[in-house]
């Protein structure tokens, strides 16, 4: 084959190869354009996410159910726990308590929770709670559903079967004006009839009566009670007493005040006790004179010291607390010489023989009517109201704290039922005036003896405090006593008959369970309707479940 033939053949072969390559490229391009394998991968990837989300939805659903179940259980428990507090807490206060319990109960799971509403019905004994939870959805969040909300509600209903009421009633001298005492007796007696619902005795209802002036009379029959300081070892028992003629030397007692009464021929202990020392107990808002700390022989300051207003010196002309002559006792004959007023007042040897009963004696301002512990006999209550008499000054603090001690289940008066959801405990504190204590520039710092001794004893204020300072501190202790009662789930009503100033009205409002529990009748004859309104509320609340 010639060279030309070979060259022509080579070109023909190359042309065929080029033609074949062109057809292969066109076919390949067409095949590539119609190939769906890449799209399927993308679609499969998307479908895989959906399939995982749908498969995981079962897990998310279980999480929702578990969260809802735990929330329901926690909310039910919260409602049951707080239901007894509906009588002493506002709805706002209940919401704070409920939210704290709810969040604590749900702290082990990953949910958001909010307490949306709290409502109560004290007439029905019902507490209603509603909460909203937000449950995160880790699987369904892959398809845009990040969480789900659910609402849960709980209702706790329990009416109280037993009712215990302490009527804390002002017996001060101002109650004799404008027929106030007569109207108070009528109001308290009619309220008693309503609460006892016509029965002479009751298995579910008890009422106690706590008359107060400067002091509260706990009853002379309790002179030997385990909670009375009969040894004189309390740190306040020796206040205003001394056993020698040198007032610069310390005297630490003991002073058995009941024994001093025994040495006097014509006077006996009237039944009143001093306030316990203002010693902090369980915290800065709880003190021995404002709480119900159990009396114990192991701690003499928890015992109650019989009140004993000391005899003042003869040199204080016209002073009504001068009831013993400075020279009456041979054992104290030195007092007729150059003894100081302090020595003349404090010498223990004076209290032997008779006293001048026309002056204020050691039972100064002790109300004649002793308190009545909780009683289930209506006539006992009516009799205790009937013997009240108006005389003396006003110490609402003493009334409030002894009201708490009467309705509590522990000593000094243990007639009350235990604190439990079945029992409603109530105080009705009535006064027509303000806390009173009158300062003066004599050596004691006050015109007369009080449950806190004298200001010079520094159990309330100090020497030199004026009337306003003393009254303000008494108001503080009154509110503290009320708060300790409310913290024990005792419902507190206050009744201020024409309160003389804004400070007293504010104090009574702070004492009450709520503003709706504070009443301010403008005239004595309005007391009956106020007490009847309170009594009717209480009667409705003690209906059986």
Q: Residue 149 class from Cβ within 10 Å (0-12 exposed, 13-18 middle, 19+ buried)?
A: exposed
Let me know if residue 305 belongs to a domain. Answer: no
Q: Rounded to whole angstroms, what are the CA distances from 219 to 60, 162, 214, 303, 413?
A: 69, 26, 15, 15, 11
pTM value is 0.77
Q: What does the pLDDT average to over 524-529?
A: 98
Which pLDDT value is given to residue 541?
A: 64
Q: What does the pLDDT average to over 119-134?
A: 85
Q: Using 50, 70 and 90 to split pLDDT, how confident is the model at 18? A: very low
Q: Is 133 helix (H, G, I), strand (E, B) or coil?
A: strand
**Domain identity same for 77 and 181:** no
Which pLDDT value is given to residue 231?
A: 96
Residue-wise pLDDT tens digits, 49-72: 444 444 545 555 566 677 778 888
Q: In the predicted model, is pLDDT for residue 4 greater than 60?
A: no
Q: Cα(361)–Cα(436) distance, rounded to whole angstroms?
A: 20
- Of residues 120 and 157, more confidence is placed in 120
Which pLDDT value is given to residue 63?
A: 65
Q: In the predicted model, is pLDDT for residue 38 greater than 70?
A: no
**Domain identity same for 91 and 187:** no
Share of the chain above pLDDT 90, in %: 59
Let me know if residue 443 belongs to a domain. Answer: no
Which pLDDT value is given to residue 58?
A: 57
Let me know if residue 480 belongs to a domain. Answer: yes
Q: With b meaning 16 or more CB within 10 Å and e meaning fewer, what string describes 115-143?
A: beebebebeebbbebbbebebbbebbebe
**Domain identity same for 476 and 520:** yes
**Domain identity same for 320 and 289:** no
| CATH code of the domain covering residue 524 | 3.40.50.410
Residue-wise pLDDT tens digits, 69-88: 888 888 888 988 888 788 77
Which residues fall within 8 angstroms of residue 453, CB to CB, at 6 or more apart?
A: 236, 239, 240, 274, 459
Q: Which of 65-79, 103-117, 127-141, 290-304 has the lowest mean pLDDT?
A: 127-141
Q: Cα(167)–Cα(5) distance, rounded to whole angstroms?
A: 139
Q: Cα(62)–Cα(461) distance, rounded to whole angstroms?
A: 65
**Domain identity same for 314 and 349:** yes
Let me know if residue 235 belongs to a domain. Answer: yes
Among 419, 442, 440, which residue's Cα sits nearest to residue 491? 419
**Domain identity same for 284 and 176:** yes
Q: Cα(270)–Cα(251) distance, rounded to whole angstroms?
A: 26
**Domain identity same for 266 and 175:** no
Number of domains comprising the chain:
3
Let me know if residue 86 belongs to a domain. Answer: yes
- Of residues 408 and 126, more confidence is placed in 408
Q: What is the mean pLDDT of the chain?
A: 85
Q: In the predicted model, is pLDDT for residue 144 greater than 80?
A: no
Residue-wise pLDDT tens digits, 442-490: 899 999 999 999 999 999 999 999 999 999 999 999 999 999 999 999 9
Residue 193's domain comprises 163-222+280-296+365-435+470-545
Which residues fall within 8 angstroms of residue 506, CB to CB, at 6 or more apart?
A: none
Which pLDDT value is given to residue 23?
A: 52
- Of residues 33 and 145, more confidence is placed in 145
Q: What does the pLDDT average to over 219-243?
A: 96
Looking at 157, 186, 203, the residue that finishes a domain is 157
Q: In the predicted model, is pLDDT for residue 263 greater than 90?
A: yes
Looking at 135, 157, 179, the residue that finishes a domain is 157
Which pLDDT value is given to residue 6?
A: 41
- Inter-helix orientation angle 467-487/502-511, to 10°: 20
Let me know if residue 142 belongs to a domain. Answer: yes
Q: Omega into 412 within 30° of 0, i.e. cis?
A: yes
Q: Is 127 helix (H, G, I), strand (E, B) or coil?
A: strand
**Domain identity same for 57 and 95:** yes
**Domain identity same for 389 and 510:** yes
Which pLDDT value is given to residue 415?
A: 97
Q: Cα(199)–Cα(210) distance, rounded to whole angstroms?
A: 22
Q: In the predicted model, is pLDDT for residue 247 greater than 90?
A: no
- Of residues 25 and 233, more confidence is placed in 233
Looking at 157, 173, 201, the residue that finishes a domain is 157
Q: Which of 8-22, 43-57, 417-431, 530-544 has the lowest mean pLDDT?
A: 8-22
Share of the chain above pLDDT 70, in %: 81
Q: Cα(375)–Cα(372) distance, rounded to whole angstroms?
A: 8
Helix spans in 87-177 (H): 91-105
Count Cα atoms within 13 angstroms, Cβ side, for 178.
Answer: 11
Q: Cα(507)–Cα(432) distance, rounded to whole angstroms?
A: 13
For the sheet containing 205-212, what is the strand order? 372-375, 205-212, 162-170, 423-431, 490-496, 518-519
- Of residues 243 and 42, more confidence is placed in 243
Let me know if residue 430 belongs to a domain. Answer: yes
Among 531, 190, 222, which residue's Cα sits nearest to residue 370? 222
Note whether 447 and 440 are within 8 A (CB): yes
Q: Which of 128-142, 291-305, 493-507 has the lowest mean pLDDT?
A: 128-142
Which pLDDT value is given to residue 113?
A: 78
Note whether 149 and 133 are within 8 A (CB): yes
Let me know if residue 29 belongs to a domain. Answer: no
Q: In the predicted model, is pLDDT for residue 137 greater than 80?
A: no
**Domain identity same for 332 and 351:** yes
**Domain identity same for 189 and 129:** no
**Domain identity same for 216 and 334:** no
């Amino acid at each position: 084959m010639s060279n030309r033939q070979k060259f022509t053949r080579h070109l023909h072969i190359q042309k065929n190869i080029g033609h074949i390559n062109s057809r292969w490229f066109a076919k390949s391009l067409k095949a590539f354009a119609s190939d769906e394998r890449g799209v399927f991968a993308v679609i499969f990837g998307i479908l895989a996410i959906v399939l995982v989300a749908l498969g995981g939805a079962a897990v998310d659903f279980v999480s929702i159910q578990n969260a809802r179940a735990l929330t329901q259980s926690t909310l039910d428990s919260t409602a049951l726990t707080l239901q007894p507090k509906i009588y002493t807490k506002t709805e706002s206060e209940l919401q704070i308590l409920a939210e704290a319990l709810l969040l604590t109960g749900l702290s082990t799971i990953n949910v958001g929770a909010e307490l949306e509403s709290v409502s109560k019905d004290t007439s029905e004994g019902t507490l209603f709670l509603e909460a909203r939870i937000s449950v995160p959805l880790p699987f369904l969040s892959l398809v845009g559903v990040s969480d789900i909300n659910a609402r849960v509600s709980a209702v706790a209903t329990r009416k109280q079967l037993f009712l215990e009421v302490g009527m804390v009633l002002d017996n001060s001298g101002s109650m004799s004006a404008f027929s106030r005492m007569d109207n108070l007796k009528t109001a308290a007696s009619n309220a008693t009839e309503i609460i006892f619902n016509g029965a002479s005795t009751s298995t579910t209802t008890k009422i106690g009566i706590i008359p107060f002036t400067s002091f509260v009379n706990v009853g002379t029959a309790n002179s030997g009670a385990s909670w009375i300081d009969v040894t004189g070892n309390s740190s306040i028992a020796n206040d205003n007493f001394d056993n020698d003629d040198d007032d610069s030397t310390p005297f630490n007692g003991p002073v058995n005040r009941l024994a001093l009464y025994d040495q006097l021929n014509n006077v006996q202990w009237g039944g009143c006790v001093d306030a316990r020392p203002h010693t902090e107990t369980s915290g800065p808002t709880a003190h021995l004179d404002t709480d119900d700390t159990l009396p114990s022989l192991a701690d003499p300051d928890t015992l109650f010291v019989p009140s004993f207003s000391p005899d003042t010196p003869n040199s204080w002309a016209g002073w009504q607390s001068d009831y013993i002559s400075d020279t009456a006792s041979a054992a104290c004959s030195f007092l007729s010489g150059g003894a100081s007023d302090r020595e003349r007042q404090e010498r223990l040897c004076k209290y032997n023989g008779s006293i001048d009963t026309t002056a204020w004696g050691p039972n100064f301002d002790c109300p004649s009517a002793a308190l009545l512990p909780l009683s289930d006999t209506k006539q006992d209550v009516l009799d205790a109201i009937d013997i009240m008499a108006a005389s003396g000054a006003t110490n609402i603090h003493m009334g409030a704290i002894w009201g708490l001690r009467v309705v509590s289940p522990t000593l000094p008066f243990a007639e009350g039922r235990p604190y439990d959801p079945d029992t409603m405990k109530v105080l009705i504190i009535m006064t027509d005036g303000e806390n009173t204590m009158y300062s003066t520039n004599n050596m004691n710092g006050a015109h007369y003896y009080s449950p806190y001794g004298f200001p010079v004893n520094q159990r309330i204020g100090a020497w030199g405090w004026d009337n306003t300072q003393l009254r303000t501190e008494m108001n503080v202790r009154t509110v503290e006593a009320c708060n300790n009662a409310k913290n024990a789930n005792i419902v507190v009503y206050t009744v201020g008959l024409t309160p003389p100033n804004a400070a007293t009205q504010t104090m009574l409002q702070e004492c009450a369970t709520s503003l709706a529990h504070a009443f301010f009748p403008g005239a004595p004859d309005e007391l009956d309707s106020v007490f009847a309104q309170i009594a009717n509320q209480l009667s409705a609340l003690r209906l059986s479940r």
